[in-house]
A and B are shown apart, each in its own frame.
Chain A
Amino acid sequence: MHFQINTPIAIFLALACCTVPPTTSATSGLEVMQQVNARDDGNMIQRRFVLELTNKDGKTKTEKTRSYRRYFGDEKRTVIFYEEPTRVRGTGFLTFDYPDPSVDDDQWLYLPALRKVRRISASDRGDYFLGTDFTYEDIKKEQKVEIDDYTFTDKGMEYLDGRTLHVVEGVPVNEQIEDELGYSRAIWYVDPTIWMSRKTELYDVNGNHAKTITIEVVEVIDGIITATRILATNHKTGHSTRLTFSDVDYQSDVPESLFTQARLRRGL
């Protein structure tokens, strides 16, 4: 599995939003989601991200990282270095996300106090990403959706916060997928001007309202539509995670040498 938080959803402006006019109501749920998946997210990216974790009592923990992602053909590699809090500074995660879904991702961890790189087991799609309210699937798909996972239904258009959005419902195609994802139903509120779900409602395998993922800020960076602030709220635990991206750069080269165990040990 891969976890690559960093690369925000991106589309080439030209390809996606601006050139495609808002769809008509005849568009099917599947077509809407295909449009979403057609966005480009850039070949390589470097950025900072801040994780703000808030528990049900309103206590907040903040973690700051630098992260890099690069495609090696169809294989996606990601590295994350923690900068704050101080006690974990230098801690790093390296992930190789292979295109063949039957091959598990590779993951390595570096703990500076141990001075050793350790390989760690691949995470499942429904596992929580680095102790946040996002799952690995939520992060790795970068606001896209695995088309084969769901049966989509068009629920029409809805007016929300000054925007007209496509409402699409997705139900996992079988119980195995449902168990893997941990969701029995998802509802996307897709903004046709950017082909991104502004709000996503997720329901657990028992149909309880489990989570809401909201895109709070979207920016166009280097011509790519990028969500730079995303909030995930877990309705069952009252816990929430806000992901804020900054210094997003799709242009500069991300050297291949960053994605090695040696570099993980050495840090930035």
Chain B
Amino acid sequence: MDQIHAMYFETKATRGFLTLLRYRWAVLAMTFVMIGMMARYIPTLQRDTSSDAFMQPDSPALIYKEKMESVFGLTDPLVIAIVSQDPKGVFFPEALSLVETLTKQVERIPYIDPDRVTSLATENNITGTEEGIVTDPFFDKNAERFTAPVGTQARANEIRNAINQFPLLQGSLVSRDGKATIIAAELLDEDSGTAAYEAFLAIVENADLPENIALHVAGEGAVSGYLSVYIDRDARKLNPMAGLIITFVLLLAFFSLRAAVLPNLIVFATVSGSFGMMAASETSFYVITNGLVVNLIGIAVADSIHIISEYYRLLRANPDLDKKRLVAMSMSAMWRPITLTSITTVAGFLALAFSSVMPPVYYFGLFGALGVFLAWVYSMTLLPCAMLVWPTKRLPYPFKHKESSKPSSNLAEKLMTALGRTVLNRPKTVVAISALLTTVVIVGSSLVVVDEARIESFKSTEAIFQADKAINQTMDGVYNLDVMIDSHVSEGLFNPQTLRDIEALQHFMETLPGVNGTTSVVDYVKQLHKAVQGGQPEYYRIPDNEALIGQLFFLYGASADPTDFEEEVDYDYQRALIRAQVDNDRYINNKIVVPALEEWIRNNLNRDDLTATVTGRVTVNYYWIQGIDQATLASITISFIAVATVAMCVFRSLTLGAIAAVPVGLAVLFVYGIMGFLGIPLGVGTSMFAAIAIGLSIDFAIHTLDKIREITHQFGFDNTALLTLFPSTGRALLFNFMAVAGGFGVLATSDVPPLIKFGSLVAIAVTVAFVASMTLLPALIMLIKPNALKPTFETEQAYALSN
């Protein structure tokens, strides 16, 4: 069969590549200049690990949240939780003293605003007496309402009793069961989250802990800060590992230094080009962009594997030809399938880009497509020139003849031939088994659910993950579900009916799953009302008198820093924020809570003079994951149609296009089936796999069909002739598959669970696509015998004569 390639000897393509090789030094120089020009931007790449980055900047949910944060001066806090296993909870002298010490240390962290640290050590107990209002710092030795000395169990008991009378602090500052309390701090500059998180960790590590006390550091400020470091650390581990694995596959395939070095050169050129362009276009490096590096490594190496395989096979068949011609002939044989597969992979990436509403996914698709294009350009130009200037022309071990009469002899070739024989002899069995498996995975696919929780971007062994869990179990919750109330007029919040509506809304919010507490200005009004009325419990209610409400607001304002109240009401007392603390951020929960709240507001807050908008972290996350929920099917459909259409155009046949799409469809279905059976939810990482897998999987089908067509055009649907598919293209595809699956498989060792899932799923999809292309696809061809593959008249005659 190798002799077939001699046909290309004088083709236009060969002549074209010979011309290119004549100018090899110029081509090399130009490409290296190009690589250098693109790579120089890489150091300017900006990282953006915020979860808001996943929303379109103009999406209503995000705009409302940003508006709310601006109106109410909100920042994402860092939190230390002090969690106790002691029967007395945190109310014993050593624990309270720890709170005080840690608070002082936190106040001295340079990135923290010392005036914006909140803990039992900074807050006041506000009580009403017959005479008036007493404001006592909990830890003040001269406190009026605390009689026991600071540092005694009696004082700790007094503090516990005081908090039991102070609903505003319950669940937010101290857990309702008294087992935990927090120290919350605001950053002076939100960009210093990472450094502040590390400073917090240092404080916690050096703390002298009483028995039964554990400390945890968490909070959205910590998560965003640490995620960026975490992702970076992961990338530094993953990317070299992907490079190593691929080099290992190359060495295994070729036993040749050239075949290990040159594809790595293409990988370097592709990756630096894509990320250089990313930096130059000021596109951020998002959490998921890490997956793209490994992705491009796998893709860039695949083209080289096919070209170098072809080169060695030609060299084995034509040992006397000069190197330049051999390289030109290899390129001439491979440019078509490589171009076709590049087009289909680009189509897959672009389909991902244009079907996604999330900017990180959009850019993943866009720069993925750019990377595939660059890999194609470099494989068509840089690779042949580099192969030619490589000093040796040695035929590596796997391609050497053991016996001159038997052309194929290496293990991979033998394995693939054995597989081919089995498939070609029993095509019906292959199709039947495939049909059965397909039915099973369709059942599995129906079990897939959409879910995502950002904290699961960290491994469950990470301190931050455990902190999140511990705090959400003991406190009311670290996730916020907010409603912004707008009364449309200045001082509109003094209206008692408005406050009563807010109160009713809070009561409803507290019935929602995951919501353990709510806070609004109404709580302050009630607390102050009780305080000015001598602390009588029956006054813990909204006053009926509008003037009194106004004066209570004034009293609160006069007793605090001028911006202290801004987290609850705006400057004109026109807008108020109602904040619910939710103990989890799972989409499964969010999709119950957010629509229920929106419906309640529609039905119960139907006033012309009042607007209520549901917002906050929980709402934003609900809307962006809902985007995945709705966009995934569209994304898969678009990608599938895109690659199938390209395949149909390539082969100029509807049947062949449809057959090419079969391994792709199976790959996606299998992965969904596995996800369904294993209970892996569809989230950010997992939703992207399908479009990428489609773009990669089609390559196997195209290489296979291209080769089959070449064979059948000459020899018809002959088993013996078709068997040559397996040691030639089949072998190259085996190593192509190993490189791609290995590259994505590396992601399984990541510390970022979404990347683990993404990598593993793509690896599984590629495996299915490879196996299906090598089994089901030839079996289908044997059974269907499509017209487009039938021999042309001349070759048919020749074939008939030769038999």
Contacts and interface: CB of A to CB of B under 8 A. Distances in A.
B753 to A, nearest CB: 36
A118 B135 CA distance: 12
Contacts of B552: 111
Interface in A95-118: 104, 108-109, 111-114, 116-118
Nearest to A130: B558
Interface stretch (A8-16, A161-169, A201-209, A216-224): A201-209
Nearest to B186: A236
A49 B513 CA distance: 51
Contacts of B188: 208, 236
Closest 6 CB pairs of A and B: A118-B132, A119-B132, A113-B548, A87-B550, A121-B135, A113-B547
B572 A59 contact: yes
Contacts of B557: 131
Contact of B555 (A111, A117, A133, A182): A111
A198 interface: no
Contacts of B555: 109, 111
Nearest to A134: B562
Contacts of A210: 115
Nearest to A135: B561
Given A131-B558, A236-B115, A121 B548 contact: no
5 contacts: A87-B551, A91-B554, A118-B132, A206-B109, A241-B562
A87 B113 contact: no
Contacts of B112: 206
Contacts of B532: 111, 114, 116, 118
Interface in B547-590: 547-548, 550-552, 554-555, 557-564, 566, 571-572
A104 B551 contact: no
Nearest to B528: A111
A128 interface: yes
A205 B533 CA distance: 37
Nearest to B104: A179
Contact of B563 (A55, A59, A207): A55
B113 A236 contact: yes
Contact of A112 (B110, B134, B551, B563): B551
B802 interface: no
Nearest to A111: B551
B121 to A, nearest CB: 11
A110 to B, nearest CB: 10
A116 B113 CA distance: 38
A116 B560 CA distance: 22
A114 B562 contact: no
A88 interface: yes
Query: Which of A53, A113, A116, A205 is most buried by chain B, counting CB atoms within 10 A of its CB?
Result: A113
B136 A128 contact: no
B144 interface: yes
B131 A91 contact: no
Contacts of A208: 113-114, 188
Interface string A130-146: 11110000000000000
B554 A87 contact: yes
Contact of A87 (B73, B131, B491): B491
Contacts of A205: 107-108, 114
A241 B532 CA distance: 27
B101 interface: no
Given A57-B571, A87-B494, A237-B563, A113 B551 contact: yes
B559 A131 contact: yes
A128 B133 contact: no
Give the secondary structure class of B's interface.
Answer: mixed
Query: Which of B543, B552, B560, B571 is most buried by chain A, counting CB atoms within 10 A of its CB?
Result: B571
A205 B109 CA distance: 10
B281 interface: no
Interface in A16-59: 53, 55-57, 59
A114 B571 contact: no
Given A87-B550, A113-B545, A206-B107, A53 B562 contact: yes
B580 to A, nearest CB: 26
A239 interface: yes
A119 B131 contact: yes
A120 interface: yes
Contacts of A109: 132-133, 555
Contacts of B109: 206
A4 to B, nearest CB: 15
Given A109-B132, A111-B548, A114-B532, A182 B562 contact: no
Contacts of A132: 562
A61 interface: yes
Contacts of A237: 73, 561-563
B191 to A, nearest CB: 15
B142 interface: yes
Nearest to B563: A237
A120 B133 contact: yes
A56 B570 CA distance: 12
B123 to A, nearest CB: 13
Interface string A157-192: 000000000000000000000000010000000000
B551 A91 contact: yes
A239 B558 contact: no
B560 A87 contact: no
Interface in B506-535: 532-533
Nearest to A175: B104
A59 B552 CA distance: 21
A236 B552 CA distance: 27
A84 to B, nearest CB: 12
Contacts of A59: 571-572
Query: Which of A131, A205, A208 is most buried by chain B, counting CB atoms within 10 A of its CB?
Result: A131
Nearest to B545: A113
Nearest to B547: A113
Query: Which of A104, A117, A133, A236 is most buried by chain B, counting CB atoms within 10 A of its CB?
Result: A236
Query: Which of B114, B545, B552, B564 is most buried by chain A, counting CB atoms within 10 A of its CB?
Result: B114
A255 B560 CA distance: 31
B68 to A, nearest CB: 14
Contacts of B572: 59
Interface in A220-243: 234, 236-237, 239, 241
B142 A104 contact: yes
Contacts of A116: 532
B133 A88 contact: no
A59 B729 CA distance: 72
Given A111-B551, A113-B547, 18 more contacts: A53-B562, A55-B563, A87-B494, A112-B551, A113-B551, A114-B551, A119-B132, A121-B134, A121-B135, A128-B561, A128-B564, A206-B108, A206-B112, A206-B114, A208-B113, A236-B188, A237-B563, A241-B562
A260 to B, nearest CB: 15
Contacts of B558: 130-131
B562 A112 contact: no
A119 B548 contact: no
Nearest to B109: A206
Query: Which of A117, A120, A132, A133 is most buried by chain B, counting CB atoms within 10 A of its CB?
Result: A120
Nearest to A184: B114
Query: Which of B73, B109, B132, B135 is most buried by chain A, counting CB atoms within 10 A of its CB?
Result: B132
Interface string B171-198: 0000000000000000010000000000
Interface in A63-109: 87-88, 91, 104, 108-109
A225 B388 CA distance: 92
A132 B135 CA distance: 19
B545 A108 contact: no
A88 B554 contact: yes
Nearest to B494: A87
Interface in B76-123: 107-110, 112-115
A131 B560 contact: yes
A118 B571 contact: no
A91 B552 CA distance: 11
Contacts of A119: 131-133
Contacts of A91: 551, 554
B565 to A, nearest CB: 8
